[in-house]
Amino acid sequence: MDKVMVLATGGTIAGIGEGGAYTSGQVGVNDLLKGIVPKGVEIESEQVANVGSQDMDSDIWFKLLERIYALSAREDIKGFVITHGTDTMEESAYFLHLSVQTHKPIVFTGAMRNSTSISPDGPMNLHNALAVCAHPESAGLGVLVAMDEGIFSARDVSKTHTSHLSAFKALNTGAIGHVYYGQVHFHAKPIQKHTLQSQLVLKGPTPLPKVAVVYTYVGCGDFLLNAALQAGVQGVVVAGMGNGNVNHTLLEVMAQAIKQGVVVVRSSRVGSGEVQLGEVDDMRHNFVRAGDLNPQKARVLLQLALLKTTNPQTIQEFFDTH
């Protein structure tokens, strides 16, 4: 029988409360699993953390990484389901997608409604995530996110709505499969490098470089970027306007930051589409383009890339291929 290891970290799926007023990370993993395990799937579980994912941090990321490495060595474990708050699920999933070297499936899931609300979505999401994890075609696809009957690659998925059950979407690529009452159908595979092919894998915990996201808006000037530079960041992701555009004042400070050895990535606040060569002269300034990664995901990649190099060309290659 296929054995899936459930690693629980908290979130609304484990939340308790009245409707929208609730506290994340209250219910233990064994209670979450009662009555929802698909037939033919055996489970084990561990409570790695129990937090709202706004409190997710690199310590918990590394606990997950270490548990996955240790447990992957066990032949009886076919894969991992990670329960997680939805607020930062896309960042944690992408971190492991890039950093964990395993062919075993890792499937994130969570819930938009807390466990004691009317019609919670957590039980079905967890049931479906377990089915996805146990499915033979899930191996080698890297980290997946199973939410609201969709199966997404960790690279492409983001939370696009504050409350809808269908909040998770891959706006540029779409889902790579669907899961309906535990029936799994894949129709695409991720093409960028991840897990076994990733050039950004980690063997264990290591301090992650300080990288800030600087948001842009009308009249934003340069003070946020200056504050980030004064705080000693090694990299900055600028959430630019449209195709990663910035005003002249900010552009000047971005160019100075490069001269100080800080890596500057242009991304977009738009939420979908790609940041490409355009109005900003990336070649002249040595800026890196985030492609179709949103700012928070570009930050995850940049942190891992900065552990390998500060060369903007090499970092651009990581962005183009991961």
> Which residues are near ligand GLU by CB under 6 A?
11-12, 24, 52-54, 85-87, 110-112
HSE at residue 149, side-chain half, CA atoms within 13 A, is: 5
Q: Using the minimum distance from each CB to ligand GLU, give the nearer residue, 53 or 198.
A: 53
Q: Is 86 a catalytic residue?
A: yes
Closer CB to ligand GLU, residue 121 or residue 282?
121
Residue closer to ligand GLU by CB (options 104, 159) is 159
Tell me the residue nearest to ligand GLU as measured from the CB. 85
Based on CB atoms, which residue is closest to ligand GLU, 87 or 222?
87
Strand order in the sheet with 2-10: 41-51, 2-10, 77-83, 106-109, 143-147, 150-153, 177-180, 183-186
Active site residue 12: yes
CB of 146 to ligand GLU, least distance (A): 14
CB of 53 to ligand GLU, least distance (A): 3
Catalytic choice (86, 109, 195, 216): 86
Are 61 and 92 spatial neighbours (Cβ–Cβ below 8 Å)? yes
Of 12, 102, 109, 195, the catalytic one is: 12
Q: Which is nearer to ligand GLU, 53 or 267 (CB)?
A: 53
User: Of 54 and 321, which CB lies nearer to ligand GLU in the complex structure?
Assistant: 54
Give min distance, CB of 52 to ligand GLU, in A.
4
| Closest residue by Cα to residue 151 from 123, 193, 180 | 180
Question: What is the smallest separation between the CB atom of 90 and ligand GLU, expressed in angstroms?
Answer: 11
Active-site positions read 12, 86
